[in-house]
Structure 1
Amino acid sequence: MLVRLIVGLGNPGPKYAGTRHNAGFWFVERVAERLGVDLRAERKFHGAIGRYRDAGLDLHLLCPDTYMNHSGRAVAALARFHRIPPEAILVAHDEIDLPAGVVRLKRGGGHGGHNGLRDIIPALGSRDFARLRIGVGHPGSSDQVIAYVLHAPGRSELTAIDSAIDAAAAQAPALAAGDWDRAQQQLHTRE
């Protein structure tokens, strides 16, 4: 299936801009930059949106401004308005269970403890959307996770994350064209 909507998860505002939790925002911003798309605030969709149309592709981009725990409101509003089924949505998010610099594509599944995904599932009424899991590493102890994701990565981690995001953003046209297997092969074998 074609990807018609790419959502980047994060928290709005300068306080969170450089934190690990905003890796999804970083990805969508990189895709927008590569495709020459401006992201503009749109109140009715609760976030910054952009749209890319070229050579038969029609791809929406979204960075919700609702904070992570309420991401579903923005995703559902845009998906309903443009009649985009869950199977045509890719949600990019930070993933503590992957090392910094590793990215993985996944179709469907649960929330895995991620509050953004936890909110999107009931808002869409489905778990069938795809995920781009952007590795940010793990703090080593579960009681440190919240503080860890709400802080900026170190220089070497940031370099690794940035490289992974760049590689993933290069695959956005393939995903929008429905070439999931090629995009997955490129990303899963890049290490």
Structure 2
Amino acid sequence: MKCIVGLGNIGKRFEQTKHNIGFEVIDYLLESNQFKLDKQKFRGAYTIERLGGEKVLLIEPMTMMNLSGEAVGPLMDYYNVDPEDLLVLYDDLDLPQGQVRLRQKGSAGGHNGMKSIIQHLGTDNFKRIRIGIGRPTNGMSVPDYVLQKFSKQEMETMNKVIEHSAHAVEDYVSNSRFDHVMNEYNGEVS
């Protein structure tokens, strides 16, 4: 079984913020496939469904972003999911808005949600989709920037990115060759 995790912060005030783009992709997958996060355990909302004929565990941690590993680690242990079958979707300041970068493994790159997952799993050997949100301008602090909602214009771009990322997830689930999925989906979304 593959495990797909979208990172974000819980609560109304964080909905549609830059930091919650991982949740947005999971929500897109849920809605387009008529799934619901109908279970809660270990501080995570999740469901187990068939996507592209494959069994998949979809998770949104119900922790704050920086504690995401507290939900992901125990759920993966409970369902006996190997880290090699994990794919995490999250925002990335170091990529321009509209860019998507899939990676087989790697460091947290300064992302506290990823640091938490790596710490709880004891490895960084899992797949990820980094979704570019760009860096703040005009002297805005990083925390203020990532907790800011997308503008209407930005949301037009990000809706395409969300759909693109969701298709990458679907292709990954049905195609075990992640390198092929990387080749297809890495880059700027237009």
1-structure distance, mates of 2:6, 2:54: 19
How large is the RMSD of aligned CA atoms in angstroms?
A: 1.9
Residue equivalent to 1:30: 28
SS in 2 for 1:97: coil
User: Alpha carbons of 1:74 and 1:38: their partners in 2 closer, same or farther (altered >3 Å)?
Assistant: same
- Any runs of at least 4 consecutive aligned residues in structure 1 with deviations exceeding 6 A, and if so which? none
SS in 1 for 2:12: coil
Count of paired positions: 188
* Equivalence map 1:77-116=2 (5 Å): 77-116=74-113
- What amino acid is the match of 1:183? V
Encode CA deviations 1:3-23: one digit per residue, 9 max, x unaligned.
700100000010111210000
- What amino acid is the match of 1:188? N
Which of 168, 172, 179 is the equivalent residue of 1:175?
172
Structure 1 stretch displaced more, 29-38 or 161-170:
29-38
2-structure distance, mates of 1:32, 1:4: 15
Matched, 1:132 2:112: no
Contact kept? 2:88, 2:127, Cα under 8 Å: yes
Gaps of 5+ in 1: none
Percent identical: 36
User: Alpha carbons of 1:142 and 1:61: their partners in 2 closer, same or farther (altered >3 Å)?
Assistant: farther
Residue equivalent to 2:64: 67
Matched, 1:45 2:42: yes
- What amino acid is the match of 1:32? L
Contact kept? 1:139, 1:148, Cα under 8 Å: yes
Structure 1 position 55, deviation (Å): 6.2
2-structure distance, mates of 1:13, 1:33: 19
Matched, 1:165 2:162: yes
**TM-score when scaled to structure 1?**
0.91
Matched, 1:148 2:145: yes
**TM-score when scaled to structure 2?**
0.91
2-structure distance, mates of 1:56, 1:99: 34
- What amino acid is the match of 1:38? K
2-structure distance, mates of 1:144, 1:170: 32
1-structure distance, mates of 2:11, 2:35: 21
